[in-house]
Structure 1
């Protein structure tokens, strides 16, 4: 363990030195390229800012309005059919929208029930196997200016539903 930790302390500086050495050997102006990349990064952030701001406002409104609780209540027959703990259902609904809000739900579930309970295991597995669809679409499509997402959203929601069901099945199969 000590040797591996010792080697890992030098991994980042070693990669940095390798990149700089390759730049010197190829006679590339590494600092100028670095500055150009940083400038492009700032431009990308500015491009996607409206999409992210809109998404954050929508998540706040969705949670504050009580719509999440109403939606969870309306989906209760499906939740029961799938064998999903009712405490985990808001996570399944919010995860495609917000990573930070879903992380807060997982934290609350684990604090309330513990990590080794069925609820805790389902929440952790669901958190790891699903994606923040709307955030990802806003960042990736917004950064290149694509407005028509075509079938991406439908495919992503289908994948998310399958991931939720697979998480429930895996936890039931592995942990009983």
Structure 2
């Protein structure tokens, strides 16, 4: 399988070059033009991405995540859910790398077969880093009005949290 992956890129490049040759397209000029456009898009997204990274680091450093977990923890525990999963549910829409690291620490601490490990696994695979996705996609097209997008995406994240817990609890009974 590893050899197939290693051979895939040269084969794809070769097919593109052959296609360009038969269609009489200057492949190199098309590549350079696309690269210039990609750099312009990247430079246009940088301020928004830097703002998002600063905001994520501020949330982590300020203790806001811990404060929210302390407030919501008793409610979550009253519903019969491991309170250790709550930081993941709050962190996932904001930071992909932070939530991945937290998922890994949950799996190391409780094990992948624990309820917390199973909920964390389902939750991490069924949610999106909402703020990052909105930043990149809306920033790429220059759209500044989020209107219904952000509330709908966050509602989807909330449903993913609820359904992750329900799914794990349901399959634990079977």
Alignment partners' CA distance in 2, 1:93 and 1:85: 14
**1:26 paired to 2:29:** no
**1:86 paired to 2:83:** yes
Structure 2 gaps, min length 5: none
Q: Deviations over 1:88-108 (max 9, x none)?
A: 100100110110111111111
Q: CA deviation at 1:26?
A: 0.2
Q: Deviations over 1:89-136 (max 9, x none)?
A: 001001101101111111111111112211111111111100001111
Q: Deviations over 1:43-65 (max 9, x none)?
A: 11111111111111111111111
Q: Give SS of 2:83's match.
A: coil
Partner of 2:124: 127
TM-score (norm 2): 0.92
Distance verdict in 2 for CA 1:7–1:99, change over 3 Å: closer
Judge conservation of contact 1:83–1:168 (CA < 8 Å) in 2: no
TM-score (norm 1): 0.91
Q: Give SS of 2:145's match.
A: coil
Alignment partners' CA distance in 2, 1:131 and 1:52: 16
Please, which of 161, 165, 169 is the counterpart of residue 172 of structure 1? 169
Alignment partners' CA distance in 1, 2:38 and 2:130: 22
Alignment partners' CA distance in 2, 1:15 and 1:175: 45
